[in-house]
Each structure stands twice: as structure tokens, then as C-alpha cells.
Amino acid sequence: MAGINPRTMSKFLRSVILLGALCCVIPGLSAAVYLDTLPDGSINTGAFSNFTVLTSGDLSDTNNTFTGPSRVDGNIGIGRNGNFSMSDGTINGDIYMNSAGKFTKSGPAQHNGTVFYSQDAVLNAALNDARSLSMAAASDPGGGTYTTTQGTFNGSTVNSGQSITLSGTGKVVLNLQDFVMTGGTFTLNGTAMTTFIINVNRNFSLNNSSVVLSGGLMASHVLFNVKGTGNQVSLNQGTSLSGILLATSRKISLSGGKVYGKVIAEQIAITSGGQVISQ
């Protein structure tokens, strides 16, 4: 190739080799990034999509309890060293236990399903995706918009007994310090393509209040991501929530509270008629 400087050719070849290497690396890196939503706007539940209730069993108290006239429709996974005791109520679904934990059933408890033991690989994969979802949601800038069409909302805290309605489009991400309701209804309004991701840094509790969806918004498109360690997440008697309740580093107590969606926690207590109904 007459007329081409050898040094120029050498630089050109090095550039081609580097470009080829980047083309090989970048797809792998992109594949490793966990996306918090799928193209249809639903929350990316990854390997824990099969579970309605999932616990990591990381707390020093590893006892997960199911008592009273409570109910779960869907599969339950008890990870790490967690135990699971059921003394009343009904579970309509399979139970996946880790290799170190024990499952006990007593009294009038009814389990309509199969207990699978030594499911560490399945549970670990599910929990890894749950943690990845929490981190992805916490750093998501969103891009959707919302308006407050009822009540008062300052954009950083829900701590109220009033009714509040937020109407959103696209992917709406809220970063809150607290989500504490002691009465009233928190309504999320959107279409079947709208997504709400609500990150909560500190306290999450519902007392005599409900989180409801309207306008075609689905529970599979709503995520409450309670970040880090901290106080117990509580849904008490007379409360309900539609969506995915994710608190990978905390205990969740449903003392009569109802969730229409999924619950992922470090430890869980479902008592006094608490329910988790898969949506």
C-alpha cells in the first residue's frame, strides 16, 4: 500500500483493535445492569417473580411467623437461615425453604401446596434480584411527571391522615423521607403504561389507611422501595396496599394489613388476618 506512512498504519491498526475490544466488552457490561422496569412499564421482578412473599433471613431473629386467620395466595420463599412457622390461616401456594431453616405447621393451619426443601440456589437468585431492584430503583432519576389532584403533598414526605391523590404519566420516581399514614387514602392514578416508584428512606407505616390504584394503573407497575436498615415496616388492622412492597433489610409486619401484590422483606410476620394476594 504505497504512500501510507507505516506509523500512521500502526496507529490505525491499534485503533481498530481497541474498538473491537470495546465492542466485546460493552454488551457484557450493559447486560449486567439491572433495570428496575420492563418495556411495558411493569416492575422488573426478575428471579423473584415466582414469589408472592420472600424473605432473606438475615436478621438475628430468623423466625418468620404466620398466625391468626391470615392468608397468602401465591408462593412463599424463606431464604438463608430463616425458619417459618404456621399455626393458623391459609396458604394457597408452594413454600420454598432454605437448607438450614425449618418449616412447622400446627393447629388449624391449612397449606394447599408443596413444601420444597434445600432451595438455596433458587432463593439466592431471587434475593439477589430483589436487592438489585432496590438499588436500581433508589438511583433511578425517573422522567415521568405527576400532579397532586387531591390533598397536600410536598414531594418529600407523606405523614398525614388526609386523603392524597397523585396523577402520573410515564415513570414517576418519588424519593421520600417517610411514608406514614394514620387515616385517609393514598391514591395513585395512571394508565396501564404508567409506573410509580416510591423510595422511602426512614419510616413506612399504615394505620387505618389504604394505598389504592385508579385509572388503569396496575399493582405490577407500583413499587414501594423501603431502603436500608431501620424501623419495622408496619401495615396494621384496617389497612391495605396495592403494589410491590420491598424492604430487603427490614422486618415487615402485616398485623391485619393486606397487600395486593408482593412482599419482600428480611423477616416477616403475618398475623391477625393479614393477607398477601398475588396480582
Question: Based on the domain organization, do 59 and 171 belong to the same domain?
Answer: yes
Question: Based on the domain organization, do 156 and 219 belong to the same domain?
Answer: yes
Question: Based on the domain organization, do 54 and 111 belong to the same domain?
Answer: yes
Number of other residues whose CB lies within 10 A of the CB of residue 92 = 16
Question: Based on the domain organization, do 10 and 141 belong to the same domain?
Answer: no
Question: Based on the domain organization, do 155 and 179 belong to the same domain?
Answer: yes
In a domain, 38, yes or no: no
Question: Based on the domain organization, do 28 and 161 belong to the same domain?
Answer: no
In a domain, 40, yes or no: no
Enclosing domain of residue 2:
1-33
3-state secondary structure the chain: CCCCCHHHHHHHHHHHHHHHHHHHHHHHHHHHCCCCECCCCCECCHHHCCEEEEECCCCCCCEEEECCCCEEECEEEECCCCEEEECCCEEECCEEECCCCCEEECCCCEEECCEECCCHHHHHHHHHHHHHHHHHHHCCCCCCEEEEEECCCCCCCEEECCCEEEEEECEEEEEECCEEECCCEEEEECCCCCEEEEEECCCEEECCCEEEEECCCCHHHEEEEECCCCCCEEEECCCEEEEEEEEEEEEEEEEECEEEEEEEEEEEEEECCCEEECC
In a domain, 39, yes or no: no
Question: Based on the domain organization, do 50 and 22 belong to the same domain?
Answer: no
| 254-259, Cβ contacts within 8 angstroms, sequence gap of 24 or more | 254/70, 257/206, 259/235
As for how many domains the chain has, the answer is: 2
Question: Based on the domain organization, do 101 and 23 belong to the same domain?
Answer: no
pLDDT of 180: 97
pLDDT of 160: 86
Question: Based on the domain organization, do 146 and 238 belong to the same domain?
Answer: yes
Tens of pLDDT along the chain (279 residues) come to 445 454 444 444 444 333 343 333 333 433 469 999 999 999 999 999 999 999 998 766 679 999 999 999 999 999 999 999 999 999 999 999 999 999 999 999 999 999 999 999 999 999 999 999 999 999 999 999 999 999 999 999 999 899 999 999 999 999 999 999 999 999 999 999 999 999 999 999 999 999 999 999 999 999 999 999 999 999 999 999 999 999 999 999 999 999 999 999 999 999 999 999 998
Question: Based on the domain organization, do 207 and 272 belong to the same domain?
Answer: yes
Question: Based on the domain organization, do 149 and 240 belong to the same domain?
Answer: yes
pLDDT of 58: 72
pLDDT of 29: 37
pLDDT of 14: 43
In a domain, 95, yes or no: yes
In a domain, 74, yes or no: yes
The terminus-to-terminus CA distance of the chain in angstroms comes to 67
Question: Based on the domain organization, do 74 and 110 belong to the same domain?
Answer: yes
Q: Which residue has the cell 387515616?
A: 183
pLDDT of 60: 66
pLDDT of 18: 36
